[in-house]
Structure 1
Amino acid sequence: MSANEDTPVTVNENKDQFRPADHEHDHFLLTTVVGSYPKPKWLNRAKELYQDPDHEFDEDDWQEAKDDASRLITAEHERAGLDAVVDGEMRRNEMVEFFAHRIEGYEFNGPVKVWGHNYFDKPSVVSEVEYDESWLVDEYKFTAAASDRPVKVPITGPYTLANWSFNEAYDDDEALTYDLADLVNEEIEKLVEAGARYIQIDEPALATTPDDHAIVGEALERIVADIPEEVRIGLHVCYGDYSRIYPEILEFPVDEFDLELANGDYEQLDVFKDPEFSKDLALGVTDAHVAEVESVEQIEENIKKGLEVVPPEQLVVSPDCGVKLLPREVAYGKMANMVEAARNVEADLDAGNIDIERGAPAPADD
């Protein structure tokens, strides 16, 4: 069946709460980003000055620089037309290191080489992890005050926080994961109290160790305990063999799965067609690892691939992953073209030009 002006548009209330008041189409494909975004070059220079003991660039200067960068990138996301924005994680360095510095029980012993010439300051868990003070509430409040659009809050998930650290205190990573999940739950409660309604849990480690999906599922149960139903919880998973975790992940207590698929040219798309994908799908429609801006037409075709898996009311549009390693002008071009493509697909859905069941152009009338 094709959508047209005589066909009622199904509304997904959890997703539709982020629909702009002036949205021009009946259909709504929520557009957002996974999280990270290229930092302005001057912010990296400011960090060097702040870390230089011989320079007068002090804590207040460094805070002002991060504030300015957050305003700038949030405005850049707005200019691209995104429905839900992030500040590009301007205050964060690395997805595990940032949180480990804020959790009692972690310590650092120096960088570890991870690939090529890249190093990661891999932390160790040396005692029972404890929640001290909020990790992200100030970041969220600042971004929300800087934008008139909904703000999404990415948080590194407990399984990745455990898996990408040295465990020197717990019997196994499972026990560590569950304690960390309780801390993430505490942080989300504070974020919700501050007004956050869109939380994304990042678990890239799941795709590389898929046999532990049951551990991730139990951790998520702990994370969402007592979180209001209207708060949208997403799970971002990237770069792995999804057939090893599907359909089991459908049992996870989340509203949305954010999946990397463009980088693999959608070779794994069929994984999610049987059994039926019962959650919302945040489909990666631009490749975060290619420093070229996809055309609007190409992204439209990518979005339509998502309609082969879920109906429009369950589809969200985003890049494959964080785009912080791309040139900033490329990252912006991808976002702007992605939004334009999503609006074009919405218009085609409204006009009945797309077969919702097959995600292909409807046959022309004879």
Structure 2
Amino acid sequence: MSNRDQFRPEDHPNDHFLLTTVVGSYPKPKWLDRVKDRYEDDEADFGDDEWQEATDDAARLITREHERAGLDVVVDGEMRRNEMVEFFADRIDGYEFNGPVKVWGHNYFDKPSVVDDVEYDESWLVEEYEFTADVADRPVKVPITGPYTLASWSFNEAYEDDEALTYDLADLVNEEIEKLVDAGARYIQIDEPALATTPDDHAIVGEALERIAADIPDDVRIGLHVCYGDYSRIYPELLDYPVDELDLELANDDYEQLDVFKQHAFTKDLALGVVDAHVADVESVEQIESNIRKGLEVVPPEQLTVSPDCGVKLLPREVAYGKMENLVEAARNVEADLDAGDIDVSAAAPADD
């Protein structure tokens, strides 16, 4: 039995099942930004308890928004996180911060420096997961920034090279995932956007993932999210990674790289981006159905997950919700077409066990 089957709703309307989920980040309610300003104002009467209540409310709101859209697996939209590297570096001994660095447009993040051996102190995500799982009526996925990106997007002032730093960070990520599994998490997504931009290091990422996946039970689904790069330089090597699912950004370039994944049998599950996280227009249900069918050119339905390209936190919230709602409707429509025999999936042979 695939560990994917546990996420199929008992009352699912179709014989076929395309798992629907999100990558991770989601637009924060505008009021949360105003609350954060008060929390960071030393002169405001607004402390830790008030900030905790505000982030709890935001996490509850977005988790239920994902459920209202119909997603099979939800997250809290990363309401408690500021940025995918900064959030974790702030919780790892050995990091320090030197000030904001411009990323793109008017967006900045506080790029950290590694100034000493990295060490695990207290849990990063367990409380976040437990809160979301308690709020949610559907299964919850936990996105976590991978060790290669944590190393590559930081200044390394303590280790001989980024490879050594990556492996130490991988051991910490493994420790955190073990705690998440003990807390009940069964779907973990490791985010490695740095991989596709520095593809020559795919072997380093593979070794890091081996460390992360060590002793993780078979019923825990591990996904790897990769984006923004030339996939031909890391495929089929991606298939050797000890993960269940490869989550890929393909909608943004109109599936120009889809043929890359037809050169070798796709032996992992494919989480296909079917809406563009960088376009502030809601794709039609018909367009998303067409995008989903592209995934069926690579894998059969039992290996296909349907998601956005990437996190959607930079979109207007109503646009992000519209994309999720249409994504779910499109997936259910394609399932119905599969049930009716209206889609030929012979081009995507099932992966060998």
Q: TM class, shorter-chain normalised? A: over 0.9
Matched, 1:158 2:183: no
Alignment of structure 1 residues 122-201 onto 2, 5 Å? 122-201=111-190
**Among candidates 65, 73, 76, match of residue 62 of structure 2:** 73
**Among candidates 324, 333, 358, match of residue 322 of structure 2:** 333
1:132 Cα deviation after fit: 0.2
Distance (Å, rounded) in 2 between the aligned partners of 1:24 and 1:336: 17
For 1:238, give the aligned amino acid: C
Q: Which residue of 1 aligns with 2:202?
A: 213
Distance (Å, rounded) in 2 between the aligned partners of 1:221 and 1:309: 25
Distance (Å, rounded) in 1 between the aligned partners of 2:268 and 2:223: 10
Distance (Å, rounded) in 2 between the aligned partners of 1:315 and 1:86: 19
Distance (Å, rounded) in 1 between the aligned partners of 2:66 and 2:104: 30
**1:284-325 superposed Cα distances (whole Å, 9 cap, x missing partner):** 000000000000000000000000000000000000000000
1:99 Cα deviation after fit: 0.1
Matched, 1:222 2:211: yes
**1:158-192 superposed Cα distances (whole Å, 9 cap, x missing partner):** 00000000000000000000000000000000000
For 2:165, give the aligned amino acid: L
Alignment of structure 1 residues 262-277 onto 2, 5 Å? 262-277=251-266
1:76 Cα deviation after fit: 0.1
1:114 Cα deviation after fit: 2.4
Of structures 1 and 2, the one scoring higher in RCO (CA 8 A, sep 6+) is 1
Matched, 1:96 2:112: no
**Among candidates 36, 60, 71, match of residue 82 of structure 1:** 71
Distance (Å, rounded) in 2 between the aligned partners of 1:71 and 1:215: 37
Q: Which residue of 2 aligns with 1:39?
A: 28
Secondary structure of the 1:111 match is strand
Determine if contact 1:307/1:357 at 8 Å carries over to the other structure.
no
Gap regions ≥5 residues in structure 2? 349-353
Q: TM-score, normalised by structure 2?
A: 0.98
For these two proteins, the number of residue pairs brought into alignment is 348
Q: Which residue of 2 aligns with 1:348?
A: 337
For 2:51, give the aligned amino acid: W
For 1:223, give the aligned amino acid: I
**Among candidates 287, 293, 304, match of residue 304 of structure 1:** 293
**Among candidates 52, 68, 83, match of residue 41 of structure 2:** 52
Secondary structure of the 1:285 match is strand
Extract structure 1 runs of 4+ deviating beyond 4 A: none
Distance (Å, rounded) in 2 between the aligned partners of 1:224 and 1:139: 21
Distance (Å, rounded) in 2 between the aligned partners of 1:55 and 1:225: 46
Q: Which residue of 1 aligns with 2:351?
A: none
Q: Which residue of 1 aligns with 2:5?
A: 16
Secondary structure of the 1:297 match is helix
Secondary structure of the 2:49 match is helix
Secondary structure of the 1:17 match is helix
Distance (Å, rounded) in 2 between the aligned partners of 1:181 and 1:307: 33
**1:114-155 superposed Cα distances (whole Å, 9 cap, x missing partner):** 233322200000000000000000000000000111000000
Distance (Å, rounded) in 1 between the aligned partners of 2:124 and 2:3: 25
Distance (Å, rounded) in 1 between the aligned partners of 2:205 and 2:213: 12
Distance (Å, rounded) in 1 between the aligned partners of 2:213 and 2:122: 19
Secondary structure of the 2:253 match is coil
Distance (Å, rounded) in 1 between the aligned partners of 2:60 and 2:146: 26
Distance (Å, rounded) in 2 between the aligned partners of 1:113 and 1:43: 23
For 1:69, give the aligned amino acid: A
Q: TM-score, normalised by structure 1?
A: 0.94
Distance (Å, rounded) in 1 between the aligned partners of 2:62 and 2:103: 28
Secondary structure of the 2:275 match is coil
Give the share of equivalent positions with the same residue, in percent: 83
For 1:341, give the aligned amino acid: A
Matched, 1:239 2:228: yes
